Amino acid sequence: MHHPRKLAIATLAAAIVAPLLASPIAFAADYKSEYTVSTVLPAPFPWGIAADKWVELVKERTNGRINLKVYSNSQLVSGDQTKEFPAMRQGIIDMAIGSTINWSPQVKELNLFSLPFLLPDHAAMDRLTEGPVGKELFEVLRKKGVEPLGWAENGFRQVTNSKHEIHTPEDLVGLKIRVVGSPLYNDIFTALGANPTQMSWADAKPALTTKAVDGQENPVTVFKIAKIQTVGQIYMTHWNYVNDPLIFAVNQRVWKSFTPEDQKILRETAIEAGKVGIKASRDGDDTALQEIKAEGVTVTELTPAERAAFVAKTRAVYADWTKKIGPDLVKAAEKSVAQK
Ligand code: X2X
């Protein structure tokens, strides 16, 4: 027989606990009043346009239940964009829309997009992100402790400098070039005879202004919106040597705290906002190229033979990094790129 007092306590406990477990309101009550979203570039850069669109769509579709707040210029990681991924994984930041370059120090597979001259055009890029390669990369990210949701784009990257036109690898010899966080960029520019120096975006413009460096590489929209021509960068080689996709992702604990319905909303809106950002990047690059020409920047287009010389000089780097990224993944990417 049960002791009546014990039974009463058990019943009381069940009465308190049961509604908490059963009610979906209990989950909603766990939501934070604001979720941090880390980015590097704010609007009007296409990166920031994608981020702002995501915030707007999430707010709209959840009737204000989920509030994202964008923190740009890598401010949540003190300006060090290469620390964004570990900070998100650890939950110091909730979400990020990050460049594959900035996350590749921790996720070596993301160096794929930085393999020199892998990607001929935007269609090839889309075949990667939307095909089996994109799926596999999302699996890799999941195993690393974040939930990836969708893609946006910083864009094809172009090299610029303050000294002279670059038509051949010889034209790069001795030029001091600011590069981003992945060691792959050091290897590319070293192979081309330049003198690469790694620094954050926060440090890049001051270094260009003081002429501590002779050049940099970034998409045309970034060059134009950051007004890099005003600090003496008047030569651009439009060589499309790598593309820089962006990934929307959420810390896994934060992700699991959302109801399946809200997870669906977060994913769908990331994909939608990503499309808006990709269009802003691609259309913006074309417009910005015309605008910087009008403003006096010399834009050099490579002949097929000139381009081939850059490809040849970077083949060994490509081969070396294929081993680091994973030969099977690179092979799958090459296959997707080659499909028409
Ligand atoms: O630092 C850069 O060059 C930038 C803004 O393009 C990235 O974050 C990769």
Give the pLDDT confidence score for residue 29 in this predicted structure: 59
Give the tens place of pLDDT for each residue, 6-34: 545 555 454 455 445 544 444 555 899 99
Q: How far is the CA of 136 from the centre of ligand 1 (A)?
A: 24
**Where do the domains of the chain lie, and which CATH numbers do they carry?**
32-154+244-286 (3.40.190.170), 158-242+296-338 (3.40.190.170)
- Ligand 1 pocket test target in 201, 208, 241 with most atoms within 8 Å of CB: 201
Mean pLDDT of 245-270: 98
Q: Give me the DSSP letters along 146-202.
A: EEEEEEEEEEE-EEEESS----SGGGGTT-EEEE-S-HHHHHHHHHTT-EEEE--HH
Give the pLDDT confidence score for residue 266 in this predicted structure: 98
- Nearest Cα neighbor of 161 from 177, 180, 181 is 177
Give the tens place of pLDDT for each residue, 42-97: 999 999 999 999 999 999 999 999 999 999 999 999 999 999 999 999 999 999 99
Give the tens place of pLDDT for each residue, 262-271: 999 999 999 9
- Ligand 1 pocket test target in 41, 99, 199 with most atoms within 8 Å of CB: 99
Give the pLDDT confidence score for residue 340 in this predicted structure: 78
Give the pLDDT confidence score for residue 22 in this predicted structure: 47
- Nearest Cα neighbor of 222 from 158, 298, 315 is 158
Give the pLDDT confidence score for residue 8 in this predicted structure: 53
Q: Which residue has the higher pLDDT, 131 or 5?
A: 131
In this prediction the pTM is: 0.92
Give the pLDDT confidence score for residue 131 in this predicted structure: 97
Mean pLDDT of 248-258: 97
Mean pLDDT of 217-234: 97
- Ligand 1 pocket test target in 103, 203, 222, 243 with most atoms within 8 Å of CB: 222
Give the tens place of pLDDT for each residue, 207-225: 999 999 999 999 999 999 9
79: left (phi over 0), alpha (psi -120 to 50) or beta: left
Q: How far is the CA of 81 from the centre of ligand 1 (A)?
A: 8
Q: How far is the CA of 87 from the centre of ligand 1 (A)?
A: 18
Q: Using the predicted structure, report yes or no on whether residue 177 has a pLDDT greater than 80.
A: yes
**Mean pLDDT across the chain, nearest whole number?**
93
Residues lining ligand 1, CB < 6 A?
A: 40-41, 81, 99, 101-102, 154, 180, 201, 218, 222, 244
Give the pLDDT confidence score for residue 26 in this predicted structure: 44
Mean pLDDT of 284-300: 98
Q: Using the predicted structure, report yes or no on whether residue 121 has a pLDDT greater than 50.
A: yes
Structure tokens at 217: 């590489």
Which amino acid residue places its CA nearest to atom 5 of ligand 1?
201
Could you tell me what percent of the chain has a pLDDT over 70?
91
Helical pair 122-130 and 132-143, crossing angle rounded to 10 deg? 50
Do residues 167 and 300 make contact, with C-beta atoms less than 8 angstroms apart? yes
Of 20-24, 140-144, 153-157, the poorest mean pLDDT is in 20-24
